[in-house]
Structure 1
Amino acid sequence: MNVLLVTTCWWPAFARLAQLLMETGCGVAVLCPPGHPARMLPGVTVFEQRPFSPLRALSRAILRFDPVFIIPGDERASHHMHRLHGHGSTRERELIEHSIGAPESYSDTVSRIGLLARARRLLISIPAGQAITGEGELAAWIAAMPAPSVLKLDGSWGGMGVIIVATRQAAFTAYRRLRRQTSAGRAVFRMIVNRDAYWLADCLRGRPTEVSVQSFIQGLPSDLSMFCWKGEVLAAVMGEAVISLGATRPTSIIRLINRPDMMDTARRLAGEMRLTGFYGLDFIIEAVTDRAYLLEMNPRPTSLTNIRMQPGRDLPGALATALSGTPCPPPTRLPEGTLVAYFPLAWQDGHPDATHPQAHLDVPWNEPALMAEMLQQRWPERQLLARLEQACRRAARSIARLPARFNRALRRS
């Protein structure tokens, strides 16, 4: 049961998934960039990712490792698998379809607007939204819809391409900022400072990007992570946010929940799109009505994927069972209502058991080298120029706060 994990970024949760899959009995290889935490796992086979020839790197990993299943770890990796399906060998196309499902659904799994259009046809609750191709369309949206709104950049992740805006000026500023994120100048900057060449490769390849806008819904962010097999949801885990790193940033501590409406949405989408593999659904539970609104789909595992509950709520175990035909019981059973502190995200807000002594700590205790690597800054942020840039930013913020501090000191005197 060889499983190939493919990623172009440095998320530690993906390394944790690799460890969990090895515990279920899968042979694991990772196609990843230098400095990825998964490289610290003993027994994992590592293949080098190539920013400017990703399809060749993926084909080479498939040929050498001979996997029976491939898992994309980020939206860009999903896009690479879609492209290889269109240009690869018969063996590669069959393997990709076996791993991520029906080809006719690929475009909608990576397009927020395409996904929500499908959801609308299935009568799933979604916020109002549309694609924005220019500032004229944005101006028309602002004139017609009540504030605030949420601008989103397709192909982004971790909250980097999501901005909440409350005024017309803020909307235009945010739109221009999102467009700059995909500019060649920004991509060159990332390659030089962070040694991250993937954004420049995207620019040179002309990978399409899309900015969309949605109505803002006041409520509680919640997530559902699922493993699907030929359009059927075999396992799903749901959680609601308890502590997040910011309004549009990842959640660090969640509470395990079970909502039939979220599960119904997952089943309808999986059946309609004939999904196979790991997917995450982002919801907002409206404060006034308690209705679950679908916001977007992540065509990859999320942090919630790594939380192994009982059968039917154990995603790594569901994959191992689907591949082997043998039940794979989870090592622990977590009841609904349990607080879970994601590792290492929860540590960024301070040690979680100082605030939540009852929280389950999602920590790979039996892999100390992996733990140590996951606790460090991401590899791109550890580069010399990146550290210098961070120091300059901190100094600039401190200088900008000096007048306010001076005024407070004068008032106290």
Structure 2
Amino acid sequence: MNILIVSFEDERWGAIRLVKPLAASGFAVAALCAPNDALTQTRFLQRHYVLSDVKNARRIEPALAEAMRDWKPVFVIPGDERAVAFLHALVRRAKDGECAPLDAHSLSTLISSLGNPAYYSTLLMKSETVALARRCGLKTPKGGTATSAEEAVTLAERTGFPVYVKQSFSWAGMGVIRCETPEDVATAFTSMQPRRGRFLYTLARRLLHRDWYPVGSGVDVQQAVDGFPAFFTALAWKGELLAGFASLVERTSSATGPSCVVRLARHEEMARTSCVLIAATGATGFIGFDFMIEAATGKALFLECNLRPVPVCHLGPRIGVDLCSALADAIRGAATPRPPADREEIVALFPQEWRRDPAALEDFPGFVDAPLDDPGLLDRMRRGIDKHAWATA
């Protein structure tokens, strides 16, 4: 069984580290990505299709079509949010009757890999995902979506400071600003607005075939929750949660940055919330659901979701949850929900924790997730970092 990973952005460790467990589950993995992408450095990758442009749709589409025809994947995995947005736009255009660059079989494979097209925007745009969660009666921070700076300020004052102003299409802490005052909120909202009304800008995007990239996404004002971040990593199949586990974040690279140290565990409340959202959207594939664990109550408040492999996807087997084997069974026609995690483990994510503080790994009490059996990838991860503080032996 062949898998194709489509990656627009370098160093997306979730997709990169997933190649090895996919291979262990019986898949042959190819990647469509830039020539120097870190994804090409893992020894478990079997084929590389070169993506020379990650902006112009007229250049991306033939590369994707060629990779799909040649590799004949049974499943396609987007490695980052931009890849998700592009693939969603491609499917929408095909469904609207535009001439598709993919043959019928390739298009069918792509659609089955991405879940129900009716909910693409609902899952990709954070404002829409939170709105769905609220309609489903799930716990979320107070707040709402603003359409003007004045409305954003009103929402913030009603919610109570501090708040976060969040761009709907964003990732890895980008597009998230903590605000302490009404002035902060107004400034943050204004900074997130697209260049609407600029005819030449809109025309240039169309002529350059870059209008697939979302630029008019909503802006949310969200309560700053007193607690700590956590996330639930899931493998969904046609609206059903097949396997998943929680990660309780113990250290991040910055206040709104990615995780560096996590505790892998079982968490029933996060699993239930993820199940509800997966069922409501007919989701398929690797998805990460982000939460804040409220300090006063221990409740898990849903924040957003990520429609791509998150950096811990490959670590599930360490606590008894194998997402890749669950995917293999589903593709073979035996989609069966797996039991939850049966143990816990603290993990330093690599190279995230090393980049934050190399010395922190010298006496780390848990598992350091460095790919010691994948020397090419390990060297790529260490490139440009001071190497004296940590030995790989």
Q: TM-score higher than 0.5 here?
A: yes
Match of 1:223 in 2: 231
Structural mapping, 1:302-313, within 5 Å: 302-309=310-317, 313=321
| Structure 1 unmatched runs, 5+ | 188-196, 328-332, 379-413
Task: Decide whether aligned partners of structure 1 residues 217 and 233 sit closer, same or farther in structure 2, where only a CA change above 3 A counts.
Answer: same
Tell me the CA shift for residue 203 of structure 1: 6.3
Identify which range, 369-378 or 294-303, moves more after superposition.
369-378
Deviations 1:83-129 (A, max 9, x none): 22122353233212321211111110111121112111211101123
- Calculate the TM-score normalised by the size of structure 2: 0.84
Alignment partner of 1:47 out of 43, 46, 49: 49
The residue type equivalent to 2:56 in the other structure is F
Q: Paired residue for 1:59, among 39, 60, 65? A: 65
Contact 1:283/1:292 (8 A) holds in 2:
yes
Name 2:117's counterpart in structure 1: 103
Deviation at 1:214, TM superposition (A): 1.0
Distance 1:134 1:375 in 2: 44
- Determine helix, strand or coil for the equivalent of 1:67: coil
Q: Structure 1, residues 18-52: CA drift from partner, whole Å, max 9, x if none?
A: 23312322111111123211111344211222321
Q: In the TM superposition, what is the alpha-carbon distance from 1:300 to its structure 2 partner?
A: 0.9
- SS of equivalent to 1:309: helix
CA contact (8 A) 1:41 1:367 kept: yes
Residue in 2 that maps onto 1:15: 16
Residues 319 and 343 in structure 2, CA contact (< 8 A), matched pair in contact too: no
Decide whether the 8 Å contact of 1:285 with 1:291 is kept in 2. yes
Equivalent in the alignment of 1:79: 85
Q: Find the counterpart in structure 2 of residue 371 from structure 1.
A: 378
Shift of residue 293 of structure 1? 0.4
Query: How far apart in 2 are the matches of 1:153 and 1:233?
Result: 27
The whole-number CA distance in structure 2 between the counterparts of 1:46 and 1:207 is: 30
Any idea what SS the aligned residue of 1:356 has? coil
2:250 to 230, 242, 253: 242
In 1, Cα distance between equivalents of 2:342 and 2:359: 23
1:152 corresponds to: 166
Instruction: Kindly provide the amino acid, as one letter, of the partner of residue 363 in structure 1.
Output: A
In 2, the alpha carbon distance for the partners of 1:336 and 1:226 equals 17
Q: Deviations over 1:194-245 (max 9, x none)?
A: xxx9xx9756866433222211111110010100111111110211111111
1:115 maps to 129
**Higher mean Cα deviation, 346-355 or 300-309?**
346-355
Percent identity, aligned pairs only, is 30
Partner residue in 2 for 1:32: 33
Say whether residues 1:347 and 2:361 are aligned partners: no
Q: Secondary structure at the match of 1:288?
A: coil
- In the other structure, the counterpart of 2:176 is 162
Report Cα offsets for 1:228-274 as digits up to 9, x if no partner.
11111111021111111111001100011211111111111111111
CA contact (8 A) 2:143 2:156 kept: no
Q: Following superposition of structure 1 onto structure 2, how do residues 255-270 of structure 1 map, counting pairs within 5 Å?
A: 255-270=263-278
TM-score by length of structure 1 reads: 0.80
Change (3 A) 1:63 1:207: farther
Aligned partners of 1:6, 1:143: CA distance in 2, in Å? 42
Could you tell me which amino acid in structure 2 is paired with residue 64 of structure 1? D
Q: How far apart, in 2, do the equivalents of 1:334 and 1:109 lie?
A: 25
Deviation per residue, 1:180-200 (Å, 9 max, x gap): 799x9xx9xxxxxxxxx9xx9
Question: Between Structure 1 and Structure 2, how many residues are aligned?
Answer: 360
**Retained in 1: the 8 A contact 2:2–2:28?**
yes
Distance 2:61 2:158 in 1: 43
Inter-CA distance 13–310: structure 2 relative to 1 (3 Å threshold): closer
- Partner of 1:270, secondary structure, is helix
8 Å contact 1:256–1:339 — kept in the other structure? Answer: yes
**In the alignment, structure 1 residue 318 sits paired with structure 2 residue 326:** yes
RMSD between aligned residues: 2.9
**Per the alignment, do residues 307 and 207 of structure 1 end up closer, same or farther by CA in structure 2, a change over 3 Å counting?**
same
2:391 maps to none
Q: C-alpha separation between the residues in 2 aligned to 1:300 and 1:44?
A: 21
Do the aligned residues in 2 keep the contact of 1:129 with 1:214 (CA within 8 Å)? yes
Distance 1:205 1:166, change over 3 A: closer
Greater shift in the superposed pair: 81-90 or 202-211: 202-211
Decide whether the 8 Å contact of 1:226 with 1:279 is kept in 2.
yes
- Change in 2 beyond 3 A, CA 1:353/1:369: same
Determine the structure 2 residue equivalent to 1:298.
306
Structure 2: segments with no counterpart, 5+ residues: 95-99, 386-393
Deviation at 1:282, TM superposition (A): 0.2
